Amino acid sequence: MEWLDRMKSAMDYIENHLEEEVDPAEAAKRACCSVTHFQRMFSFITGVHLSEYIRRRRLTLAGFALQEGNVKVIDVALKYGYDSPEAFSRAFKQLHGIMPTAARGKGAALKAFPRLSFHISIRGDVEMNYRIEEKQPFKMAGLTADMDCANGKQYADIPKMWETGFADGSLERLSNHFGLDKNKDMLHAALYNFRERYFTYMIGAVVPVEADTGSFAVLEVPALTWAIFPTGEHTDEQTTEAIQAVWKRIYPEWFPTSGYEHAEGPEFEMYHNLGNGRYVSEVWIPVVKK
């Protein structure tokens, strides 16, 4: 399959440059997509950010080199991108649990992080609903926090942010500031400012351009084309499970054969109150046709 061939080419490039500078743009080029799309797709499919994967692979190879016993720690450190033995030793111990000098001893226990490969998994005939829509520019305002997406940590931290906001009254104050009707209007969420292993998460409201946003953070969203993925109807208690289930399917299942890739822009979780204790959630991802 063409998608698998492209991803294999990207991984070949990464593996062949672990002793040099790995350029995400070159990897993305081999995968025939933008850097943003490649990094987001890699993170969702593998559960680890691209930079973390590269770090683990380099430290794995460093462990193999040290066990040969005929190399200096400083030489291995420099070979795999560390400017000093101290920085290398800290990273090595964090992954392997022992110092580099101890790795040369007989019986030293090390961890090997293997090269990743991609394949298409047949998971059944569970349909995935979506629609493509063009939207005019809009503005969101709200409360923000930086989320760490290493090892899927965001899946626990985001619900905690909502729980804390409801408990301490900050989300109620946000709703009141923008005049939301608590019986029908709902707060939404934005994911943006993507960096290495972090992104900014905003819980907020879509507000008029002229709205007084007070001390709340503001996100200006340009006109974009969106791929919108709805959940099925659910109760309030099922919201987190429903939205996370959609997130986990978009990159490994929809994008590879969709003909679209991630465009530059924020992502959204939109929540809608259907009444009678029923809700529907949507994931919005900016896309561009390949």
CATH (domain of 59): 1.10.10.60
Give the DSSP per-residue string, 129-185: --EEEEE--EEEEEEEEEEE-GGGTHHHHHHHHHHHHHHSSHHHHHHHHTT--TTT-
Tell me the whole-structure pTM to 2 decimals.
Answer: 0.82
Which of 62, 87, 104 marks a domain boundary?
104
Residue 66 within a domain: yes
Q: Are residues 75 and 184 located together in one domain of the fold?
A: no
Q: Each residue's pLDDT tens digit in the chain (290 positions)?
A: 688 889 999 999 999 999 999 999 999 999 998 888 898 889 888 888 899 999 999 999 999 999 887 889 999 999 999 999 899 999 999 999 999 998 887 778 888 889 988 776 555 557 889 999 999 999 999 999 999 887 778 889 999 999 999 999 999 999 999 999 988 899 999 999 988 778 999 999 999 989 999 999 999 999 999 999 999 899 989 999 999 999 988 988 899 888 899 999 999 999 999 988 899 999 999 999 98
Q: Are residues 168 and 254 located together in one domain of the fold?
A: yes
Distance from chain centroid for Cα 150: 8
Which residue range is the domain that position 21 belongs to?
2-104
CA atoms within 13 A on the CB side of 85: 7
156 phi, psi to nearest 5 deg: -95, -35
The residues pairing with 131 across neighbouring beta strands, listed in sequence order, are: 228
Number of independent structural domains in the chain: 2
Q: Are residues 42 and 179 located together in one domain of the fold?
A: no
Residue 113 within a domain: no
CA torsion 90-92-96-100 (nearest 10°) is -100
Q: Are residues 163 and 224 located together in one domain of the fold?
A: yes
Q: Are residues 64 and 147 located together in one domain of the fold?
A: no
Residue 100 within a domain: yes
Residue 109 within a domain: no
Asked if residues 283 and 269 have their Cβ atoms less than 8 Å apart, the reply is yes
238 DSSP assignment: G
Residue 76 within a domain: yes
Q: Are residues 84 and 137 located together in one domain of the fold?
A: no
Q: Are residues 95 and 160 located together in one domain of the fold?
A: no
Q: Are residues 12 and 149 located together in one domain of the fold?
A: no
